[in-house]
Chains A and B, each alone.
Chain A
Amino acid sequence: MTVTSATGTMRIVRPRRVIRRSEAKWTWLLVGVIAAILLIWEAAVSWLQLIPASFLPPPSAIAVSFGKLLVDPEFWGAFGYSLGNVAIGLVIAVVVGVTVGLAVGWSPVLRFTVAPFLWLLYSTPKVALAPLFILGLGLGSESKIALVFLLAVFPIILNTMEGAVTVSTSLVNAGRVYGVNGVALGWKIIVPATLPYSLSGIQRGAALGFTGEVLGEFLGGTGGLGHMLEYAAYQFQMDDAIAMVIVMVIIANLTLLLISTLRRRLAPWYDDRKIAGAS
Chain B
Amino acid sequence: MTTTSIERNEAGAPLISVRDLSVSYDVARTGKRLTAIEGVDLDVHEGEFITVLGPSGCGKTTFMNVVAGLVKPTTGTVLVGGSPVTGPGPDRAVVFQDYALLPWRTVFDNVKFGLEMQKELKGAGWRERVQEAIELVGLAGFEQSYPRELSGGMQQRVGLARAVVAEPRILLMDEPLGAVDALTREVMRDEIEKLMAATGKTVLFITHSIEEAILLGDRIVVFKSHPGAIKEIIETGLERPRSERSIQHDPRFLELRDHLWDALQGEATAAAVSK
Binding site for B on A (CB under 8 A): 5, 7, 9-12, 14, 168, 170-171, 173-174, 176-180, 184, 189, 192-193, 195, 267-271
Residue among B68, B69, B148 with the most chain A CB within 10 A?
A: B148
With A5-B141, A12-B145 in contact, is A184–B117 under 8 Å at CB? yes
On chain A, the residues within 8 Å of B96 by CB distance are 170, 173-174
Contact assessment for A178 and B100 in the assembled complex, using a CB-CB cutoff below 8 Å: no
Of the stretches B3-11, B17-25, B87-95, the one at the interface is B87-95
Contact assessment for A192 and B142 in the assembled complex, using a CB-CB cutoff below 8 Å: no
Contact assessment for A11 and B118 in the assembled complex, using a CB-CB cutoff below 8 Å: no
On chain B, the residues within 8 Å of A174 by CB distance are 94, 96, 100-102, 113
With A9-B142, A176-B88, A179-B118 in contact, is A269–B70 under 8 Å at CB? no
- Considering only CB atoms, which chain B residue lies closest to A268 in the complex? B146
**Cα(A19)–Cα(B95), bound, Å:** 36
**Cα(A180)–Cα(B113), bound, Å:** 10
CB distance from B35 to the nearest CB of A (A): 21
| B192 interface residue (CB < 8 Å to A) | no
On chain A, the residues within 8 Å of B162 by CB distance are 178
- Considering only CB atoms, which chain B residue lies closest to A14 in the complex? B149
On chain A, the residues within 8 Å of B140 by CB distance are 7, 9
- Considering only CB atoms, which chain A residue lies closest to B165 in the complex? A178
Q: List 16 A-B contacts (CB under 8 A).
A: A12-B145, A168-B98, A171-B100, A173-B94, A176-B69, A176-B70, A177-B69, A178-B116, A179-B118, A180-B117, A189-B102, A192-B102, A192-B104, A269-B103, A269-B105, A269-B146
In-complex Cβ contact of A173 among B70, B105, B114 (8 A): B70
CB distance from A196 to the nearest CB of B (A): 9
On chain A, the residues within 8 Å of B90 by CB distance are 179
Contact assessment for B93 and A12 in the assembled complex, using a CB-CB cutoff below 8 Å: no
| B13 interface residue (CB < 8 Å to A) | no
**Cα(A5)–Cα(B115), bound, Å:** 29
In-complex Cβ contact of B68 among A177, A189, A268 (8 A): A177
7 closest residue pairs by CB, A with B: A9-B141, A179-B117, A174-B100, A170-B100, A12-B149, A269-B103, A177-B94
In-complex Cβ contact of A177 among B92, B101, B104, B146 (8 A): B92
| B150 interface residue (CB < 8 Å to A) | yes
On chain B, the residues within 8 Å of A189 by CB distance are 102
Q: Which of B94-146 contact A (CB under 8 A)?
A: 94, 96-98, 100-105, 113-118, 140-142, 145-146
CB distance from B122 to the nearest CB of A (A): 13
On chain A, the residues within 8 Å of B98 by CB distance are 168, 170
**Cα(A173)–Cα(B98), bound, Å:** 12
On chain A, the residues within 8 Å of B176 by CB distance are none
| B147 interface residue (CB < 8 Å to A) | yes
Contact assessment for A178 and B117 in the assembled complex, using a CB-CB cutoff below 8 Å: yes
- Considering only CB atoms, which chain B residue lies closest to A176 in the complex? B88
With A174-B94, A174-B100, A192-B104 in contact, is A179–B142 under 8 Å at CB? no
On chain A, the residues within 8 Å of B145 by CB distance are 11-12
**Cα(A230)–Cα(B97), bound, Å:** 60
**Cα(A174)–Cα(B163), bound, Å:** 10
Q: Which of B41-100 contact A (CB under 8 A)?
A: 65, 68-70, 87-88, 90, 92-94, 96-98, 100
**Cα(A103)–Cα(B273), bound, Å:** 43
Known contacts A168-B100, A178-B117, A269-B146, then 7 further A-B pairs from the complex at CB < 8 Å, ordered by chain A residue:
A7-B140, A9-B142, A170-B98, A170-B100, A176-B70, A193-B103, A195-B104
Contact assessment for B150 and A179 in the assembled complex, using a CB-CB cutoff below 8 Å: no
In-complex Cβ contact of B104 among A7, A10, A14, A267 (8 A): A267
In-complex Cβ contact of B148 among A170, A177, A271 (8 A): A271
- Considering only CB atoms, which chain B residue lies closest to A195 in the complex? B104
**Cα(A180)–Cα(B114), bound, Å:** 10
In-complex Cβ contact of A171 among B102, B141, B142 (8 A): B102
**Cα(A163)–Cα(B262), bound, Å:** 45
Contact assessment for A177 and B70 in the assembled complex, using a CB-CB cutoff below 8 Å: yes
CB distance from A100 to the nearest CB of B (A): 23
- Considering only CB atoms, which chain A residue lies closest to B87 in the complex? A176
On chain A, the residues within 8 Å of B147 by CB distance are 269
- Considering only CB atoms, which chain A residue lies closest to B149 in the complex? A12
**Cα(A180)–Cα(B92), bound, Å:** 14
On chain B, the residues within 8 Å of A9 by CB distance are 140-142
**Cα(A176)–Cα(B65), bound, Å:** 11
**Cα(A5)–Cα(B68), bound, Å:** 40
Contact assessment for A10 and B88 in the assembled complex, using a CB-CB cutoff below 8 Å: no
Contact assessment for A10 and B117 in the assembled complex, using a CB-CB cutoff below 8 Å: no
- Considering only CB atoms, which chain A residue lies closest to B159 in the complex? A174
In-complex Cβ contact of B103 among A11, A170, A173, A270 (8 A): A270
- Considering only CB atoms, which chain B residue lies closest to A191 in the complex? B104
Contact assessment for A177 and B117 in the assembled complex, using a CB-CB cutoff below 8 Å: no
On chain B, the residues within 8 Å of A176 by CB distance are 69-70, 87-88
